[in-house]
Amino acid sequence: MASPKGAVITVVGSGLIGRSWAMVFLSGGYKVKLYDSQPGQASKAITEIRTQVLELQEAQMLRGKLSASEQLALLSSHDDLSQALEGAFFVQECVYEDLETKQAVFQAVERHVGEGVVLSSSTSCLMPSSVFSLVQNRTRCLVAHPVNPPYYVRLVELVPHPETLHVVMDTARDLMTEVGQAPVCLRKEIDGFALNRVQYAIIAECWRLVKDDIISVKDIDLVMSEGLGMRYAFIGPIETMHLNAPEGLEDYLTRYRFGMSRVLSSFGPVPEFDGEAAARISKEICELIPGDQEHLSARRERRDQLLMELAKLKK
Ligand SMILES: NC(=O)c1ccc[n+]([C@@H]2O[C@H](COP(=O)([O-])OP(=O)(O)OC[C@H]3O[C@@H](n4cnc5c(N)ncnc54)[C@H](O)[C@@H]3O)[C@@H](O)[C@H]2O)c1
Ligand SMILES: *[C@@H]1O[C@H](CO)[C@@H](O)[C@H](O)[C@H]1NC(C)=O
Protein backbone atom coordinates (compact mmCIF):
# COMPACT_ATOMS: atom_id res chain seq x y z
CA MET A 1 0.00 0.00 0.00
CA ALA A 2 1.19 3.52 -0.81
CA SER A 3 2.62 5.51 2.08
CA PRO A 4 -0.16 7.24 4.00
CA LYS A 5 1.53 10.60 3.56
CA GLY A 6 -1.28 12.82 2.31
CA ALA A 7 -3.68 9.91 1.69
CA VAL A 8 -7.23 10.80 2.69
CA ILE A 9 -9.88 8.70 4.43
CA THR A 10 -13.41 10.05 4.77
CA VAL A 11 -15.44 9.04 7.81
CA VAL A 12 -19.19 9.50 7.29
CA GLY A 13 -21.09 9.86 10.58
CA SER A 14 -19.30 11.31 13.60
CA GLY A 15 -20.93 9.47 16.50
CA LEU A 16 -19.21 7.09 18.90
CA ILE A 17 -17.84 4.78 16.20
CA GLY A 18 -17.05 7.50 13.64
CA ARG A 19 -14.94 9.33 16.20
CA SER A 20 -13.13 6.12 17.12
CA TRP A 21 -12.37 5.27 13.49
CA ALA A 22 -11.09 8.81 12.96
CA MET A 23 -8.66 8.40 15.88
CA VAL A 24 -7.47 5.02 14.61
CA PHE A 25 -6.82 6.33 11.08
CA LEU A 26 -5.10 9.47 12.41
CA SER A 27 -2.78 7.28 14.46
CA GLY A 28 -1.69 5.65 11.20
CA GLY A 29 -0.82 9.05 9.71
CA TYR A 30 -3.82 9.35 7.40
CA LYS A 31 -5.62 12.60 6.70
CA VAL A 32 -9.14 12.15 8.03
CA LYS A 33 -12.15 14.12 6.80
CA LEU A 34 -15.11 13.78 9.10
CA TYR A 35 -18.63 14.36 7.77
CA ASP A 36 -21.98 14.32 9.56
CA SER A 37 -25.45 15.11 8.19
CA GLN A 38 -26.35 16.97 11.36
CA PRO A 39 -24.86 20.47 10.91
CA GLY A 40 -22.18 21.28 13.48
CA GLN A 41 -21.98 17.66 14.67
CA ALA A 42 -18.68 16.87 12.90
CA SER A 43 -16.97 19.95 14.34
CA LYS A 44 -18.28 19.04 17.80
CA ALA A 45 -16.79 15.58 17.24
CA ILE A 46 -13.42 17.17 16.48
CA THR A 47 -13.43 18.98 19.81
CA GLU A 48 -14.08 15.69 21.53
CA ILE A 49 -11.39 13.84 19.58
CA ARG A 50 -8.91 16.59 20.46
CA THR A 51 -9.61 16.13 24.17
CA GLN A 52 -9.29 12.35 23.93
CA VAL A 53 -6.10 12.38 21.86
CA LEU A 54 -4.45 14.78 24.30
CA GLU A 55 -5.54 12.64 27.25
CA LEU A 56 -4.16 9.53 25.54
CA GLN A 57 -0.85 11.27 24.98
CA GLU A 58 -0.78 12.28 28.64
CA ALA A 59 -1.42 8.65 29.66
CA GLN A 60 1.25 7.48 27.17
CA MET A 61 -1.43 5.44 25.43
CA LEU A 62 -1.52 7.39 22.16
CA ARG A 63 -1.23 5.01 19.22
CA GLY A 64 1.08 5.54 16.25
CA LYS A 65 4.34 7.33 15.65
CA LEU A 66 2.97 10.88 15.47
CA SER A 67 2.43 13.21 18.42
CA ALA A 68 -1.06 14.32 19.44
CA SER A 69 -0.70 17.69 17.72
CA GLU A 70 0.67 16.09 14.53
CA GLN A 71 -2.28 13.71 14.45
CA LEU A 72 -4.82 16.45 15.13
CA ALA A 73 -3.38 18.55 12.30
CA LEU A 74 -4.49 15.78 9.90
CA LEU A 75 -8.14 16.04 10.95
CA SER A 76 -10.86 18.22 9.44
CA SER A 77 -14.66 18.42 9.71
CA HIS A 78 -17.14 19.00 6.90
CA ASP A 79 -20.85 19.70 6.67
CA ASP A 80 -20.76 19.19 2.91
CA LEU A 81 -20.52 15.60 1.66
CA SER A 82 -18.83 16.26 -1.69
CA GLN A 83 -16.19 18.40 0.00
CA ALA A 84 -15.65 15.69 2.62
CA LEU A 85 -15.12 13.04 -0.05
CA GLU A 86 -12.68 15.04 -2.16
CA GLY A 87 -9.39 13.15 -2.53
CA ALA A 88 -10.44 10.13 -0.46
CA PHE A 89 -9.26 6.62 -1.40
CA PHE A 90 -11.27 4.94 1.37
CA VAL A 91 -14.65 5.80 2.88
CA GLN A 92 -15.73 4.42 6.27
CA GLU A 93 -19.46 4.81 6.92
CA CYS A 94 -20.59 5.07 10.56
CA VAL A 95 -24.18 6.38 10.47
CA TYR A 96 -27.17 5.00 12.42
CA GLU A 97 -27.76 1.26 12.25
CA ASP A 98 -30.72 1.70 9.90
CA LEU A 99 -30.79 -0.03 6.51
CA GLU A 100 -32.47 2.75 4.55
CA THR A 101 -30.19 5.42 5.99
CA LYS A 102 -27.11 3.42 5.08
CA GLN A 103 -28.38 2.61 1.58
CA ALA A 104 -29.08 6.29 0.94
CA VAL A 105 -25.68 7.30 2.31
CA PHE A 106 -23.83 4.93 -0.03
CA GLN A 107 -25.91 6.05 -3.00
CA ALA A 108 -24.97 9.65 -2.25
CA VAL A 109 -21.33 8.81 -1.57
CA GLU A 110 -21.01 6.94 -4.87
CA ARG A 111 -22.09 10.03 -6.80
CA HIS A 112 -19.09 11.96 -5.47
CA VAL A 113 -16.20 9.48 -5.69
CA GLY A 114 -14.07 8.05 -8.48
CA GLU A 115 -14.13 4.38 -9.47
CA GLY A 116 -11.11 3.15 -7.45
CA VAL A 117 -12.47 4.34 -4.11
CA VAL A 118 -13.27 1.63 -1.52
CA LEU A 119 -16.61 1.93 0.26
CA SER A 120 -16.72 0.39 3.73
CA SER A 121 -19.57 0.13 6.26
CA SER A 122 -19.29 -0.20 10.05
CA THR A 123 -22.61 -2.04 10.33
CA SER A 124 -22.87 -4.52 13.22
CA CYS A 125 -25.95 -6.46 12.15
CA LEU A 126 -26.88 -5.71 8.54
CA MET A 127 -25.80 -7.89 5.63
CA PRO A 128 -23.41 -6.35 3.07
CA SER A 129 -25.74 -7.48 0.26
CA SER A 130 -28.51 -5.33 1.82
CA VAL A 131 -26.40 -2.34 2.79
CA PHE A 132 -24.91 -1.99 -0.71
CA SER A 133 -27.94 -3.02 -2.77
CA LEU A 134 -28.36 0.49 -4.25
CA VAL A 135 -24.68 0.98 -5.09
CA GLN A 136 -23.86 0.72 -8.82
CA ASN A 137 -20.36 -0.75 -8.45
CA ARG A 138 -20.61 -3.22 -5.57
CA THR A 139 -17.23 -4.81 -6.34
CA ARG A 140 -15.58 -2.11 -4.23
CA CYS A 141 -17.83 -2.46 -1.19
CA LEU A 142 -17.29 -4.30 2.08
CA VAL A 143 -18.20 -4.21 5.74
CA ALA A 144 -15.47 -3.38 8.26
CA HIS A 145 -17.13 -4.16 11.58
CA PRO A 146 -15.24 -2.80 14.60
CA VAL A 147 -15.58 -3.78 18.23
CA ASN A 148 -16.31 -1.13 20.81
CA PRO A 149 -14.02 0.61 21.85
CA PRO A 150 -11.91 0.13 18.66
CA TYR A 151 -8.97 2.07 20.08
CA TYR A 152 -8.30 -0.74 22.59
CA VAL A 153 -10.09 -3.72 21.09
CA ARG A 154 -8.36 -4.08 17.76
CA LEU A 155 -10.40 -6.73 16.00
CA VAL A 156 -12.10 -5.69 12.76
CA GLU A 157 -14.27 -8.15 10.85
CA LEU A 158 -14.01 -7.64 7.11
CA VAL A 159 -17.07 -9.04 5.36
CA PRO A 160 -17.44 -9.04 1.57
CA HIS A 161 -20.51 -8.41 -0.55
CA PRO A 162 -20.97 -11.41 -2.90
CA GLU A 163 -19.47 -9.25 -5.68
CA THR A 164 -16.56 -7.75 -3.71
CA LEU A 165 -13.17 -8.08 -5.46
CA HIS A 166 -10.29 -9.83 -3.68
CA VAL A 167 -8.14 -6.79 -4.27
CA VAL A 168 -10.65 -4.67 -2.32
CA MET A 169 -10.54 -7.07 0.64
CA ASP A 170 -6.73 -6.94 0.43
CA THR A 171 -6.70 -3.13 0.42
CA ALA A 172 -8.94 -3.06 3.49
CA ARG A 173 -6.91 -5.71 5.30
CA ASP A 174 -3.63 -3.92 4.56
CA LEU A 175 -5.06 -0.60 5.69
CA MET A 176 -6.41 -2.06 8.94
CA THR A 177 -3.12 -3.78 9.67
CA GLU A 178 -1.19 -0.65 8.92
CA VAL A 179 -3.19 1.45 11.38
CA GLY A 180 -2.69 -1.19 14.08
CA GLN A 181 -6.07 -2.96 14.02
CA ALA A 182 -6.35 -6.77 13.88
CA PRO A 183 -8.39 -7.58 10.76
CA VAL A 184 -10.03 -10.94 10.10
CA CYS A 185 -11.61 -11.75 6.73
CA LEU A 186 -14.86 -13.65 6.32
CA ARG A 187 -14.98 -15.46 2.98
CA LYS A 188 -18.68 -14.79 2.56
CA GLU A 189 -21.41 -12.89 4.36
CA ILE A 190 -23.42 -14.52 7.13
CA ASP A 191 -25.93 -13.11 9.58
CA GLY A 192 -24.13 -11.92 12.74
CA PHE A 193 -20.69 -12.23 11.06
CA ALA A 194 -18.27 -14.28 13.19
CA LEU A 195 -17.97 -12.28 16.39
CA ASN A 196 -21.65 -11.97 17.21
CA ARG A 197 -22.38 -15.59 16.29
CA VAL A 198 -19.80 -16.72 18.83
CA GLN A 199 -20.89 -14.10 21.35
CA TYR A 200 -24.56 -15.10 21.06
CA ALA A 201 -23.69 -18.79 21.48
CA ILE A 202 -21.97 -17.91 24.76
CA ILE A 203 -24.80 -15.65 25.90
CA ALA A 204 -27.39 -18.34 25.10
CA GLU A 205 -25.75 -21.05 27.21
CA CYS A 206 -25.00 -18.67 30.10
CA TRP A 207 -28.64 -17.59 30.00
CA ARG A 208 -29.93 -21.19 30.03
CA LEU A 209 -27.70 -22.13 32.96
CA VAL A 210 -28.95 -19.20 35.04
CA LYS A 211 -32.56 -19.60 33.92
CA ASP A 212 -32.53 -23.31 34.82
CA ASP A 213 -31.16 -22.38 38.25
CA ILE A 214 -27.90 -24.27 37.77
CA ILE A 215 -25.71 -21.30 38.68
CA SER A 216 -25.98 -17.66 39.79
CA VAL A 217 -25.47 -14.62 37.56
CA LYS A 218 -22.39 -13.71 39.57
CA ASP A 219 -20.82 -17.13 39.16
CA ILE A 220 -21.55 -17.61 35.46
CA ASP A 221 -19.87 -14.26 34.76
CA LEU A 222 -16.89 -15.50 36.80
CA VAL A 223 -16.71 -18.62 34.63
CA MET A 224 -15.83 -16.27 31.78
CA SER A 225 -13.82 -13.54 33.53
CA GLU A 226 -11.74 -15.84 35.77
CA GLY A 227 -11.76 -18.92 33.54
CA LEU A 228 -12.23 -18.96 29.79
CA GLY A 229 -11.58 -15.25 29.38
CA MET A 230 -8.09 -15.51 30.89
CA ARG A 231 -7.01 -17.68 27.97
CA TYR A 232 -9.18 -16.15 25.32
CA ALA A 233 -7.41 -12.79 25.60
CA PHE A 234 -4.41 -14.52 24.01
CA ILE A 235 -5.40 -17.79 22.37
CA GLY A 236 -8.61 -18.84 20.63
CA PRO A 237 -10.70 -21.99 21.11
CA ILE A 238 -8.99 -23.99 18.35
CA GLU A 239 -5.50 -23.31 19.70
CA THR A 240 -6.84 -24.06 23.17
CA MET A 241 -7.84 -27.55 22.01
CA HIS A 242 -4.51 -27.98 20.24
CA LEU A 243 -2.57 -27.17 23.41
CA ASN A 244 -4.82 -29.09 25.80
CA ALA A 245 -3.82 -32.60 24.71
CA PRO A 246 -0.22 -33.90 24.70
CA GLU A 247 -0.19 -34.58 20.94
CA GLY A 248 -2.23 -31.64 19.73
CA LEU A 249 -5.63 -31.22 18.12
CA GLU A 250 -6.21 -34.74 16.81
CA ASP A 251 -5.25 -36.19 20.16
CA TYR A 252 -7.68 -33.77 21.83
CA LEU A 253 -10.46 -34.94 19.53
CA THR A 254 -9.75 -38.61 20.22
CA ARG A 255 -9.99 -37.94 23.91
CA TYR A 256 -12.84 -35.47 24.08
CA ARG A 257 -15.02 -35.44 20.99
CA PHE A 258 -17.65 -37.84 22.35
CA GLY A 259 -17.86 -35.85 25.56
CA MET A 260 -18.18 -32.62 23.62
CA SER A 261 -20.95 -34.00 21.45
CA ARG A 262 -22.80 -35.46 24.45
CA VAL A 263 -22.73 -32.13 26.31
CA LEU A 264 -23.61 -30.16 23.19
CA SER A 265 -26.64 -32.37 22.51
CA SER A 266 -27.95 -31.53 25.98
CA PHE A 267 -28.15 -27.79 25.21
CA GLY A 268 -31.68 -26.39 25.33
CA PRO A 269 -33.50 -24.43 22.62
CA VAL A 270 -32.73 -20.82 21.71
CA PRO A 271 -33.86 -18.71 24.69
CA GLU A 272 -36.63 -16.12 24.27
CA PHE A 273 -34.75 -13.64 26.50
CA ASP A 274 -38.01 -12.35 28.02
CA GLY A 275 -40.65 -13.05 30.65
CA GLU A 276 -39.95 -14.31 34.14
CA ALA A 277 -36.36 -15.36 33.36
CA ALA A 278 -35.44 -11.92 32.00
CA ALA A 279 -36.95 -10.20 35.03
CA ARG A 280 -35.13 -12.51 37.41
CA ILE A 281 -31.75 -12.25 35.66
CA SER A 282 -32.08 -8.48 35.44
CA LYS A 283 -32.89 -8.27 39.16
CA GLU A 284 -29.89 -10.43 39.99
CA ILE A 285 -27.38 -8.39 37.95
CA CYS A 286 -28.83 -5.13 39.35
CA GLU A 287 -28.21 -6.39 42.87
CA LEU A 288 -24.54 -6.68 41.90
CA ILE A 289 -24.37 -3.53 39.75
CA PRO A 290 -27.32 -1.15 40.21
CA GLY A 291 -28.73 -0.09 36.83
CA ASP A 292 -28.52 3.68 37.43
CA GLN A 293 -26.24 5.90 35.34
CA GLU A 294 -23.76 6.49 38.13
CA HIS A 295 -23.04 2.81 38.73
CA LEU A 296 -23.09 1.88 35.05
CA SER A 297 -20.68 4.69 34.10
CA ALA A 298 -18.30 3.70 36.87
CA ARG A 299 -18.28 0.10 35.65
CA ARG A 300 -17.81 1.23 32.02
CA GLU A 301 -14.85 3.36 33.06
CA ARG A 302 -13.37 0.39 34.92
CA ARG A 303 -13.91 -1.79 31.82
CA ASP A 304 -12.16 0.69 29.52
CA GLN A 305 -9.30 1.19 31.97
CA LEU A 306 -8.73 -2.57 32.22
CA LEU A 307 -8.99 -2.99 28.45
CA MET A 308 -6.32 -0.32 28.10
CA GLU A 309 -4.02 -2.23 30.48
CA LEU A 310 -4.72 -5.46 28.62
CA ALA A 311 -3.94 -3.79 25.29
CA LYS A 312 -0.58 -2.74 26.77
CA LEU A 313 0.09 -6.29 27.90
CA LYS A 314 -0.80 -7.72 24.49
CA LYS A 315 1.77 -5.42 22.89
N1 LIG B 1 -21.57 1.49 19.23
C2 LIG B 1 -21.03 0.29 19.08
O3 LIG B 1 -20.69 -0.41 20.03
C4 LIG B 1 -20.77 -0.24 17.69
C5 LIG B 1 -19.84 -1.27 17.49
C6 LIG B 1 -19.60 -1.73 16.18
C7 LIG B 1 -20.29 -1.16 15.11
N8 LIG B 1 -21.20 -0.16 15.34
C9 LIG B 1 -21.92 0.41 14.18
O10 LIG B 1 -21.39 1.68 13.88
C11 LIG B 1 -22.42 2.49 13.31
C12 LIG B 1 -22.50 3.81 14.06
O13 LIG B 1 -22.82 3.56 15.41
P14 LIG B 1 -22.60 4.65 16.57
O15 LIG B 1 -22.70 3.90 17.85
O16 LIG B 1 -21.41 5.45 16.28
O17 LIG B 1 -23.92 5.55 16.37
P18 LIG B 1 -24.16 7.08 16.85
O19 LIG B 1 -25.63 7.22 16.99
O20 LIG B 1 -23.27 7.40 18.00
O21 LIG B 1 -23.65 7.96 15.61
C22 LIG B 1 -24.30 8.02 14.37
C23 LIG B 1 -23.90 9.35 13.72
O24 LIG B 1 -24.32 9.31 12.34
C25 LIG B 1 -24.85 10.59 11.99
N26 LIG B 1 -25.74 10.41 10.84
C27 LIG B 1 -27.01 9.92 10.82
N28 LIG B 1 -27.48 9.87 9.56
C29 LIG B 1 -26.49 10.35 8.76
C30 LIG B 1 -26.37 10.56 7.36
N31 LIG B 1 -27.37 10.27 6.54
N32 LIG B 1 -25.18 11.04 6.89
C33 LIG B 1 -24.17 11.34 7.74
N34 LIG B 1 -24.23 11.17 9.07
C35 LIG B 1 -25.39 10.68 9.57
C36 LIG B 1 -25.56 11.05 13.24
O37 LIG B 1 -25.73 12.47 13.22
C38 LIG B 1 -24.59 10.58 14.34
O39 LIG B 1 -23.62 11.57 14.62
C40 LIG B 1 -23.70 1.67 13.37
O41 LIG B 1 -23.89 1.01 12.13
C42 LIG B 1 -23.38 0.65 14.44
O43 LIG B 1 -24.12 -0.55 14.30
C44 LIG B 1 -21.43 0.31 16.59
C1 LIG C 1 -15.64 -0.82 -9.81
O2 LIG C 1 -14.76 -0.81 -8.68
C3 LIG C 1 -13.56 -1.51 -8.89
C4 LIG C 1 -12.82 -1.56 -7.55
O5 LIG C 1 -12.56 -0.27 -7.06
C6 LIG C 1 -12.77 -0.82 -9.99
O7 LIG C 1 -11.56 -1.51 -10.22
C8 LIG C 1 -13.59 -0.78 -11.27
O9 LIG C 1 -12.94 -0.04 -12.25
C10 LIG C 1 -14.97 -0.16 -11.01
N11 LIG C 1 -15.81 -0.32 -12.19
C12 LIG C 1 -16.51 0.69 -12.72
C13 LIG C 1 -17.33 0.34 -13.92
O14 LIG C 1 -16.49 1.83 -12.27
Instruction: Report pLDDT digits (tens) over 45-76.
Output: 999 999 999 999 999 899 999 999 999 999 99
Mutation to probe ligand 1, out of 96, 103, 110 (largest number of atoms < 8 A from CB): 96
Of all residues in the chain, what percent carry a pLDDT higher than 90?
Answer: 93
Note the ligand closest to the C-alpha atom of 124: 1
pLDDT of residue 6: 84
pLDDT of residue 169: 98
> If you take atom 32 of ligand 1, which residue's CA is the nearest one?
37
Mutation to probe ligand 2, out of 91, 139, 164 (largest number of atoms < 8 A from CB): 139
Mean pLDDT of 22-33: 98
Instruction: Report pLDDT digits (tens) over 107-162.
Output: 999 999 999 999 999 999 999 999 999 999 999 999 999 998 899 899 999 999 99
pLDDT of residue 2: 46
Q: What is the mean pLDDT of the chain?
A: 96
Domains and CATH numbers, the chain: 8-185 (3.40.50.720), 195-314 (1.10.1040.10)
128 Cβ inside 6 Å of ligand 1:
no
Q: Checking DSSP bridges between strand 155-160 and strand 182-185, what pairing results, if any?
A: parallel
How far apart are the C-alpha atoms of 145 and 197, rounded to whole Å? Answer: 13
pLDDT band at 87 (very low <50, low <70, confident <90, very high): very high
| Local structure of 136: helix, strand or coil | coil
- 140, amino acid identity: R
Q: Checking DSSP bridges between strand 31-35 and strand 118-121, what pairing results, if any?
A: unpaired
CB neighbours of 228 closer than 8 A, spacing ≥ 6?
none
Mean pLDDT of 266-274: 97
- 298, amino acid identity: A
Instruction: Report pLDDT digits (tens) over 193-222.
Output: 999 999 999 999 999 999 999 999 999 999
How far apart are the C-alpha atoms of 17 and 116, rounded to whole Å? Answer: 25
80 Cβ inside 6 Å of ligand 1:
no
Mutation to probe ligand 2, out of 140, 142, 161 (largest number of atoms < 8 A from CB): 140
pLDDT band at 315 (very low <50, low <70, confident <90, very high): confident
Residue 162 in contact with residue 34, Cβ under 8 Å? no
- 108, amino acid identity: A
33 - beta bridge partners?
10, 76
Residue 145 in contact with residue 157, Cβ under 8 Å? yes
Instruction: Report pLDDT digits (tens) over 164-188.
Output: 999 999 999 999 999 999 999 999 9
185 - beta bridge partners?
158
Instruction: Assess whether pLDDT exceeds 70 at residue 238.
Output: yes
pLDDT of residue 3: 55
Query: CA Rg, the chain, in Å?
Result: 22
